Amino acid sequence: MKDKTIRELEDQAEKIRESIILMLEKAGSGHAAGPLGMADIMTALYFRVLRYDPKDPDWPERDIFFMSNGHCAPVQYATMAHAGYFPKKELLTLREYGSRLQGHPERTTLPGLENTSGPLGSGLSQGAGMALALKLDSSNNRHIYLTMSDGELDEGNIWEAALFASKYQLNNLTAIIDRNNIQIDGPTEKVMPLEDLRDKWESFGWHVQEVDGHNIEAIVDACAMARAVSEKPSVIIAHTIPGKGVHFMEGDFHWHSGAPDHKHTLEALHELRSLKGKVIYD
């Protein structure tokens, strides 16, 4: 990609982070670290990788994105709003009673959401099932992308789905793991060690890549490689910093869940540059 394009995508990711902070402060609850850390991944997907039409969310030729780690819904909502699915001002209704933007995504409430998620470990099964259905339907040009948290790899359902996808050679399925090394109870390697994660996925018959989850160009290139793989599902292990862009959140598992107060919001927005302390949308 050209340097200008990369800078534009990086700026887009920062705007998404700013939206996340604003949403969480207004809601007074939610998850901060994971969504901030995934902003570059979601920017790469929605602004370079996925084929979709926000004006026609059910477009039959669209690619499909599933979020398995549903607690990271703020980054999905923010990205979709910036991509044109709905007005950005609606982001400030996060978690309100009757809002389309609940704490975990609900497929039927918001056009463009492809799956309901909340119970961790379910998304890969959803994605694998859809990928097989597309193959049976001869929808060869469509692709399934999904994100998972590293903490949810503790769930056995993930590995059942991994076996299933490998058996049926679901090369139209790409999973992206947000490898941020934290979960709600602490560091992943203390709660339930995952390494060697690459070897695990390769032993289950997957094509594996590892990338810097904050390098948008690398993420886009990895998705292109995954789409070119034949006879295997693909997984991209994206190494990220939880709370990316906000120094007092970065790497701190205590921010896995929790919203910033007004003081923290102003500090975070100052770091993220462009809003300069404003806490409302124009």
Instruction: Report how far apart, in Å, the C-alpha atoms of 101 and of each of 31, 35, 217 are.
Output: 13, 14, 29
Query: What burial class does residue 39 get, using C-beta atoms within 10 Å of its C-beta: 0-12 exposed, 13-18 middle, 19+ buried?
Result: buried
Residue-level pLDDT at 51: 97
Residue 276 lies in a domain: no
Structure tokens at 59: 């477009």
Residue-level pLDDT at 39: 97
Give which of 227, 238, 234, 173 is closest to 202, Cα–Cα.
234
Tell me the per-residue pLDDT of 1-39, one tens digit each, with 9 for 90 and over. 788 899 999 999 999 999 999 999 999 999 999 999 999
Residue 174 lies in a domain: yes
Q: Average pLDDT for residues 60-79, to the nearest whole number?
A: 96
Residue 281 lies in a domain: no
Tell me the per-residue pLDDT of 194-249, one tens digit each, with 9 for 90 and over. 999 999 999 999 999 999 999 999 999 999 999 999 999 999 999 999 999 999 99
pLDDT more than 90, % of the chain: 86
**93 within 8 A of 101, measured Cβ to Cβ:** yes
Q: How many domains does the chain have?
A: 1
Rounded distance between C-alpha atoms, residue 209 and residue 121, angstroms:
21
Give which of 280, 272, 282, 197 is closest to 15, Cα–Cα.
272
Structure tokens at 51: 């084929």
Looking up tokens 């991209």, which residue turns up?
Answer: 236
State the CB neighbour count (10 A cutoff) for residue 160: 14
What residues have CB less than 8 Å from 60, skipping those under 6 apart? Answer: none
Residue 278: pLDDT over 50: no
Instruction: Report how far apart, in Å, the C-alpha atoms of 54 and of each of 10, 13, 76, 90, 191 are.
Output: 21, 18, 14, 16, 39
Range of the domain at 197: 3-271
Query: What is the residue-averaged pLDDT of the chain?
Result: 93
**162 within 8 A of 204, measured Cβ to Cβ:** yes
Q: Which residues pair with 212 in a beta bridge?
A: 239
Tell me the per-residue pLDDT of 164-175, one tens digit each, with 9 for 90 and over. 999 999 999 999
Rounded distance between C-alpha atoms, residue 237 and residue 270, angstroms:
30
Residue-level pLDDT at 3: 86
Residue 282 lies in a domain: no
Looking up tokens 């359902």, which residue turns up?
Answer: 157
Residue 148: pLDDT over 80: yes
Residue 280 lies in a domain: no
Residue 274: pLDDT band (50, 70, 90) is low
Residue 58 lies in a domain: yes
- The domain that holds 152 is classified in CATH as 3.40.50.970
